[in-house]
Amino acid sequence: MIETFHTITKLFYTVLAVVGVIVNLVAILILIRE
């Protein structure tokens, strides 16, 4: 049970990191366009 929770937590943080990078890239693109 604990192992599964740990894996889910790692996946969750990985997804958060990816989303954060995408949001930053989009923000940079918007700033460049303006």
Distance (Å, whole) CA 29 – CA 21: 12
pLDDT at 34: 81
If you search the block for the tokens 């989009």, which residue do you land on? 26
Tell me which long-range contacts 6-14 makes (C-beta under 8 A, separation of at least 24). none
Distance (Å, whole) CA 33 – CA 31: 5
pLDDT at 25: 98
- Count how many domains the chain has: 1
pTM of the model: 0.64
Domain encompassing residue 10 = 1-34
Write out 17-31 in H/E/C secondary structure: HHHHHHHHHHHHHHH
The 10s digit of each residue's pLDDT in 1-34 is 688 989 999 999 999 999 999 999 999 999 999 8
pLDDT at 8: 94
pLDDT at 10: 96
Distance (Å, whole) CA 23 – CA 7: 24
